[in-house]
Amino acid sequence: MVANNEEKRRAAKIVRRLRATYPDAECALRHENAFQLLVATILSAQCTDERVNLVTRELFARYPTAQDLAALSQERLEKLIQSTGFFRNKAKSIRGCCQRLVERHGGEVPRDLEALVALPGVGRKTANVVLGTAFGLPTGVVVDTHVSRISQRLGLTHTADPVKAERELMEHLPKREWIAYSHRVIHHGRQVCKARKPLCDRCSLADVCPRIGVAS
């Protein structure tokens, strides 16, 4: 769906409001480099950022490189990340990802979308997180649960499918805003536009939000 001029103008107003409200919004996953962000993002599936940060603090202190994690046994890694949930699949993905990084990329995270999504356990969302946050490359818009919910409420997207929603957002938003939009909307979702009971009376977007799907 191609956004018309009116939709783009409203999207631009939303972007300006979010920028003013959350000028310093950034990724909540603690990391020191692209590799740590990649692993943390894999761990963040169906898990809070707070829990991931607790787990990765110890994990990266002991095993800071792709070579280190690639050499771990499945059982050992499972034990280290167990509290993040779905730990067997996550451990398999992280080990496979790290082994591929070592084998094909010298242990370094590639700055290329196609190369990233070719890694085990890495989809487009994870690749966009790493490329946008670690490298400043706007390859797409990260669509997590907050971004999906709020973008639909704002009328910027019309689907719960993250791939289709990302395409709609890429049509509505200028490319220079793709990275920051997700960070700011995630903060907004945690603080104001909550899933069950959004705080519309405190919302800086109240006058431009059609509140789609929000019970009156």
The residues carrying an active-site annotation are 125, 144
Query: For residues 100 and 74, is the Cβ–Cβ distance under 8 A?
Result: no
Whether residue 94 contacts residue 77, with contact meaning beta carbons closer than 8 Å, is answered with yes
HSE-up of residue 76 (Cα within 13 Å, Cβ side): 10
Closest CA to 163 of 139, 185, 141, 182: 141
Are 156 and 167 in contact by the 8 Å Cβ rule? The answer is no
CB 185 within 8 A of CB 141: no
Cα–Cα distance measured from residue 184 to residue 189, given in angstroms and rounded to the nearest whole number? 9
Q: How far apart are CA 101 and CA 108, in angstroms?
A: 6
> Cα 94 to chain center, whole Å?
17
CA-CA distance, 208 to 193, in Å (whole number)? 14
Distance, CA of 212 to CA of 43 (rounded, Å):
31
